[in-house]
Chain A
Amino acid sequence: MSDIITTPKISLLAPVPPPATVAAAAAAAPTEKPLIETEKLSLYYGQAKALKEISIKIQEKLVTAFIGPSGCGKSTLLRCFNRMNDLIDGVRIEGAIRIAGHDINSREVDVIELRKRVGMVFQRSNPFPKSIFENIAYALRLQGIKSRSEMEGTVESSLRGAALWDEVKDRLHASALGLSGGQQQRLCIARAIAIRPEIILMDEPASALDPIATAKVEELILDLKKDFSIVIVTHNMQQAARISDYTAFFYIGELIEYDRTARIFTNPAQKQTEDYVTGRFG
């Protein structure tokens, strides 16, 4: 497989126990050392309360899916993790978000550094109107990488990592806007992994794609899981069932249920969750 996936990754975090066993023991709230942890997190748009006292613990090197009907706050919560909500006027946050133990809303946190560690893939693919190569090179230059050879190597390994290399290797310097929707989205994923974040946040990454492109992206996500911790927002329940290890169900700004994916879809504890996953509303 690609370089990325074979490169050993060293982290100061405590080694994570095999997820299945831990999760099985901890049931609804996976504990031990969570990678992302929120504590009574509330978010307001002006007066409106969009998130209501959410406490959730997300584990490392797993795929965690956020599901729920539109407007339930799942995307808003995702955007809290790399502080993209900072860009919106009038957003106020109460409670704490800790990533690897650091309170990311504290004054000391370097938000630029945070976003380099917590990558993001958006709902609408948003490649820069530059060449395929430049799209990734832009991300690398932000990291201070200037040497051409290092840059070319990383561009290739990231494109391989995003399963796009074979399709675009002959036209690296063509405009990224000439790619198909699915290719564009994979380019965005390649761009996100190029700077080797610890976490990748995905905001409905396949919602604008056709079924074949969606399948490719899902395959890619399962592949990336080996190296990255992934949090994905989706409104497609089959998708959540296929790719995620844990699933959180949100409804009108509240976290209704959070458990192993298999449990959420087969034997949910809450009536609301059951109604949603069986398609009774949403």
Chain B
Amino acid sequence: MANKEVGSKRSVGWMGLQRGHHAHPLEWIVEKGIFAVSLSAIVMIFLIFLFVAREALPIFFGQLNSAKVQKVMSVAEMEKLGPAELQAYLGLTPEQYASMDTETKRLLMEVKLEEFKESSQDKDATLNTTSWRNMILPHQWSGYSKPEYIWQPVSEIQKYNIIPLLIGSLKATLVALLFAVPLALGAAIYVSQLANARAREWLKPTIELLAGIPSVVLGFFALIVMASVLQSVFGYQSRLNAFVAGIALGLAIIPVVFSIAEDALTSVPRSYTQAALALGSSKWQAAWKIVLPAAIPGVFAAVVLGFGRAIGETMVVLMASGNASIVSWNIFDSTRTMTATIAAEMAEAVVGGHHYRILFMLGALLFVVTFVSNLVGDLVIHRLKHKLEGKR
């Protein structure tokens, strides 16, 4: 750097110019450091989906087999199998397999045969419950009168039908949206269009304060207080259900829906309202007939983003929904959502096991659903802002 020869610089004129810029070594290092840190942060962001999906990969490709009893082979058939097939058949890790000699493997084949002869002849035991078919379609389980959707990962025969969980998530989310959207939207219209400036100043931050309440506190409140109150009002059977969870979930998403809708309504140019007022319409008519239609994409985005937030919320539903995995569209039945299932069962799932992988698959599913809803919401808002600003 030129710092040293400042005193002489003035007499040098333009001489120093043509020696190229060499960054100070420290500066060079710092700038490379900035790049390296940012790159790793960015890679991390993209890793998230990768690592969640990676754990669930064998399920997506149908490579898992949870059947307790497989097609048995006589010991003689051992020769026909390739090493990989044999290893899978015997249920060994590659290291174990490599360390065994042929004699041990032959012995294991015999053990397997014995096991089969002794095992119960339950036809469910031959079923691969991790196949897509059994995760989505109902199955006629032995002992049941008709085909059923069952999520029962901890039992003799593990049942992984995810339909009850999907229904549970959608049910709670639907209740939350039905409760939160009208309230949040009404408040957004009131705060942005009708309230006077002073009221607006404290109303907006106060409503957004609701976002500062941790979801575990909302879950606690729903479980300890709301559940009993709502039960005595509506008089339904099970104390914890999709309704209670949905209302509490609604409280969690009100600030999200409110903020975005309020933002969209405020971004409608004041000139629209003024034009309407100048034509003799009243304040509410301007808000209802001019501002709201102009901001309707923003309202849509608010609902979509609220949906994404609600379906991904965990602690509230874990604590207030009752967690029974039954297929029912009745909102007063106890219900179990995808998020609560992951939260409740992850700790006891064996790493790398079927249950573990299916929970990760639910996580990947949630990721995709929320990512898409966020993307849609963001795009809509972006377009709306662009449009409103372009017209100005």
Q: Do chains A and B touch in the complex (CB under 8 A)?
A: yes
A residues adjacent to B (C-beta < 8 A): 9-13, 99-102, 104, 106-114, 116-117, 143-145, 196, 198
A180 to chain B, nearest CB (A): 30
> Are A102 and B11 CB-contacts (below 8 A) given A143-B6, A144-B2, A144-B4?
no
Cα distance, A104 to B19, chains bound together (Å) = 11
A59 to chain B, nearest CB (A): 15
B10 to A, closest residue via Cβ:
A196
CB <8 Å contact, A110 and B10: no
CB <8 Å contact, B14 and A109: no
Does chain A have a CB within 8 A of B347?
no
> Are A112 and B14 CB-contacts (below 8 A) given A143-B3, A144-B3, A144-B4?
no
Please name all residues of chain B whose beta carbon is closer than 8 Å to the beta carbon of A108 when the two chains form the complex: 18-20
Binary contact readout B1-13 vs A (1 if CB under 8 angstroms, 0 otherwise):
1111010001111
Tell me the residues in window 143-195 of chain B with beta carbons closer than 8 Å to chain A beta carbons. Answer: none
CB <8 Å contact, B3 and A12: no
CB <8 Å contact, A110 and B3: no
CB <8 Å contact, B21 and A113: yes
CB <8 Å contact, A99 and B14: yes
> Are A113 and B2 CB-contacts (below 8 A) given A107-B20, A108-B18?
yes
CB <8 Å contact, A117 and B14: yes
Does chain A have a CB within 8 A of B25?
no
Does chain A have a CB within 8 A of B17?
yes
For the complex with contacts A117-B17, A144-B4, 7 further pairs of A-B residues with Cβ separation under 8 Å are A12-B15, A99-B14, A100-B17, A110-B16, A110-B22, A113-B2, A117-B14
> Are A12 and B18 CB-contacts (below 8 A) given A116-B2, A144-B2, A144-B6?
no
Cα distance, A281 to B332, chains bound together (Å) = 76
Cα distance, A58 to B60, chains bound together (Å) = 71
CB <8 Å contact, A12 and B21: no
Cα distance, A117 to B18, chains bound together (Å) = 12
CB <8 Å contact, B6 and A145: yes
Cα distance, A114 to B2, chains bound together (Å) = 11
Cα distance, A87 to B121, chains bound together (Å) = 76
Please name all residues of chain A whose beta carbon is closer than 8 Å to the beta carbon of B11 when the two chains form the complex: 10
Please name all residues of chain B whose beta carbon is closer than 8 Å to the beta carbon of A13 when the two chains form the complex: 13-14
